[in-house]
Amino acid sequence: MPPNHGILDNMVKKKPGGLLESIKTIVYAALIAIGIRTIAFEPFNIPSGSMIPTLLVGDYLFVSKFSYGYSRHSMPFSPNLFQGRIFGSLPRRGDVAVFKLPRDGSTDYIKRMIGLPGDRIQVRQGVLHVNGVAVRRENLGPYTVEGDGPRITVRRWRETIPAIGGQPAVAHDILEATDDGPFDNTQEFLVPEGHVFAMGDNRDNSLDSRAQNMVGFIPVDNLVGRAEFIFFSVDEGAVWWQPWTWPFSIRWNRLLTAVR
């Protein structure tokens, strides 16, 4: 009997330790996850069509947090622990980046970085101008927009931001339903120091820096990170409570593709 009691005693003594170890493991895992999310990569999903055709509704992507350095917006809930950026650097023209909406400091937006401090940005008859120079664009033909409201057919263009100030030229695709929309003829915007100018690739369906009273210039401190690659993508036919629909709704050709 004594040996059995000894075994029982040992089992009873291990239970509190086992529970404590489990709690520690969960806490450590949470801290590691928060650390990775803060300093390395953070996942985001695309809920709207302002970046079509580059990003589609239902895309899930990773954003690198280290690309532009760290600000308070690099951390969950943007705690006001410090001002400015640590190891900060400006984005390149053409980068696709996530930022906090300036007017509330909490809503996540994702757009393409078009203008850097000191740049002059203007759109004339649908054509982007950077520092007075028209950006070259090539007509790629019709494109059907799906999954963001009514199905419509628009024009797809290959736009090339020229090499400026040592930065390489960047080519990407944009959509234009018309060259005479509300944001297709703008004033010339002078990007102030410490700010960037952002635009969506779906040019006629994007609320961006052209809307000065809604978005405006983006403070560099509001940058969260650069979009790197799509790790998952699913069309609007997928319903989370119907897992049997998932395989037919996954956009397999978009998985693990770089964001350009």
Catalytic residues: 50, 111
**CA separation for the pair 205, 178 (Å, rounded):** 11
Neighbours of 249 (CB within 10 A): 15
DSSP alpha helix (H) spans, the chain = 2-39, 246-249
CB 154 within 8 A of CB 230: no
Q: Which two tokens stand for residue 159?
A: 């736009």
Q: Do residues 222 and 100 make contact, with C-beta atoms less than 8 angstroms apart?
A: yes
Taking the C-alpha atoms of residue 204 and residue 216, their distance in angstroms, rounded to an integer, is 16
| Block residue for tokens 């899930």 | 60
CA–CA gap between residue 229 and residue 257 (Å, rounded): 5
Q: Locate 199 and state its tokens.
A: 């635009």
- Burial of residue 161 (CB within 10 Å: 0-12, 13-18, 19+) is buried
Distance CA 14, CA 179 (A): 72
Contact, 40 vs 199, CB < 8 A? no
